[in-house]
Amino acid sequence: MIFSENDNVQIENHGLTIDKVNAQIARIKSGMVYSNLKEAATIGNGILKMDNQQESHYIELFESKRNTLSMVKFVPASGAATRMFKFLFQFLNDYDLKKESIQDFINRTGNKNVAIFFKNLEKLPCFEEVVHKIHKVISNYNHLTYDERCVEFVKTMLDEDRLNYSFYPKGLLPFHKYKIHISTAFEEHLHEAAFYASTNNHAHLHFTISKNHQDKFYEELNHILEDVENQTAHTFEVSFSYQKMATDTVALTESNDVYREPDGTILFRPSGHGALLENLNELQQDIVFIKNIDNLVVQNQLEDACKYKKMLAGILLETQDQIFKYLRLIDTGNLNDNDINDIAKFLSNTLHIDIAPDFENASIESKIFFLKEKLNRPIRVCGMVKNEGEPGGGPFWVKDETGNISLQIIEFAQIDTSQKSQKEIVKNATHFNPTDLVCGVRDYKGNKFDLHEYVDHKAAFITLKSQNGTDIKAFELPGLWNGSMANWNSIFVEIPLSTFNPVKTVNDLLKPAHQA
């Protein structure tokens, strides 16, 4: 596509090149490439299940080595909290105080979210802050009717000129209410890191945030750091980064023209969590724990929740140790047939790597090249949780265009559910991905892997969106734990549902995991 001089300047200022933009355009035009699911990963077929003795073994292994490790906790935290309050915005839009009571509104609409919210107001971690703000804004608040007070409570939470919670990132909202303290999700991640992401009582955390929220995160860090360090007897090193502009992508109209803003400039959109591969790749630690900002528990439940993170890390360390031994053996050049067979079995049984039937007949040089190339990759150990509701994205065996079969974490959007066979495989899935990963990102010589080399670029997403009333085709990079890690070595391990406590709506803060 030919761009104007102004376009060229805009593209360059965005950290992109004409070639990269044209590649994005070609990718959108070619359409979505769906994953070819072979079967769902299940216990004994791609997912490990540990008994109590094994759990203890891996936890003890991790504990015995943790003070010699270089570790960091990586938390994607750039998302705004808008979706948490979606049903409350809808309530303000639909409810007419003059025409009906809130109870009548609930009875008429069957809106359970609104009913739960108003029934449990005082349990919300933000309750005192909201009431305090209301009294500043409305002098006669105590004289209002119950319904009027409820409406003002919601308005105070959401109005731009009041607390404006939906503008905030999730990480900085009131999350947990203790006797003398209200904590944010950001603060709770520090407490959690002390349990498993610390070495010699020193923990590193890295948050990816929106540049717009940078000052607020630093303000919160300065506000809480001394108290958290005293409470945990740990010191913390906290760093931040932003999703890079150079990972933004163009969008096309339905007629495959580049979508432009009303002023004629090209629209560049954030390209999803796959863009965070850039941020992950810049970390210098050996071991990286990855967890979403909203998946937390209150502090008296931390020990139980964190033991499974230690277990995953222990599995990583033991597996990595064996990989490194094999790679060093290969480097000696002293491999016999038994060694080659042992390594091939390890690849197949432990790393779930597909070994072609013609491997047996290959030359020794070809076998060694294959084994080394497969062993010497980044590795991740991922917790998987049993499905409770509708099956969706999660762990699957996937066949690529060459016929190679591998274990992958697949998003629902990557699955062509119009195909009956694919839909049936999803229906039979037993586990989902809670985004609970421990990653090894250095090789057996101590060099950092370049994570860009292990991406399946065909696993990008093409989605239909609306921009200023116009339908557009948007392009998102392969998801961080999906296509961006497609060529890593992967081990999936069952962890209990109790480790998965995301806050998708404000009402989730009323669940036991978030009530101290």
**Residue 413: strand, helix, or coil:** helix
How much is the average pLDDT of 416-444? Answer: 96
Contact at 8 Å (CB) between 393 and 459? no
Q: What is the pLDDT of residues 92-140, one digit of tens each?
A: 999 999 999 999 999 999 999 999 999 999 999 999 999 999 999 999 9
pLDDT of 389 strictly over 80: no
Q: How many CB atoms lie within 10 A of CB 170?
A: 24
Give me the percent of the chain exceeding a pLDDT of 90: 97
**pLDDT for res 392:** 64
- Rounded Cα gap, residues 162 and 92, in angstroms: 15
pLDDT given at position 390: 64
Q: Where are the beta strands (DSSP E) in 280-404?
A: 287-291, 379-386, 394-399
- The dotted CATH code for 5-81+168-316+431-514 is 3.90.550.10
Please write the tens of the pLDDT for every residue from 17-50.
Answer: 999 999 999 999 999 999 999 999 999 999 999 9
Reference 316, options 65, 499, 500, 43; nearest CA is: 65
Q: How far apart are CA 338 and CA 326, in angstroms?
A: 12
What is the pLDDT of the chain when averaged over all its residues? Answer: 97
Token pair of 225 as six digits: 């750091």
Answer whether residue 393 shows pLDDT above 80.
Answer: no
- What average pLDDT does this structure show over 332-338? 95
Q: Are 390 and 448 in contact (CB under 8 A)?
A: no
Core vs surface per residue 288-323: b (16+ CB within 10 A) or e: bbbbbbbbbbbbebbeebbbbbbbbbbbbbbbbeeb
How much of the chain, in percent, has pLDDT values that exceed 70? 99
Tell me what pLDDT residue 479 has. Answer: 97
- How large is the average pLDDT for residues 318-327? 99
**pTM across the whole model:** 0.96
19 class by beta-carbon count within 10 Å (0-12 exposed, 13-18 middle, 19+ buried):
exposed
pLDDT at 51: 98
pLDDT of 80 over the 90 cut: no
Nearest to 475 by CA among 264, 242, 274: 274
> How far apart (Å, rounded) are the C-alpha atoms in residues 297 and 500?
9
Domain residue ranges in the chain: 5-81+168-316+431-514, 83-167
The four Cα atoms 197, 55, 500, 229 give a dihedral, to 10 degrees, of -30
42-43 and 405-410 as β-strands: parallel, antiparallel, unpaired? unpaired
- The pLDDT tens digits of the residues spanning 191-250 come to 999 999 999 999 999 999 999 999 999 999 999 999 999 999 999 999 999 999 999 999
For residue 515, what are its two tokens? 């009530």
Token pair of 175, please? 């999350």
How does pLDDT run across 342-388, given as a tens digit for each residue? 999 999 999 999 999 899 999 999 999 999 999 999 999 999 999 98
Q: Residue 110 and residue 187: Cα distance in Å, rounded?
A: 36
User: What tokens does 309 get?
Assistant: 């993170």
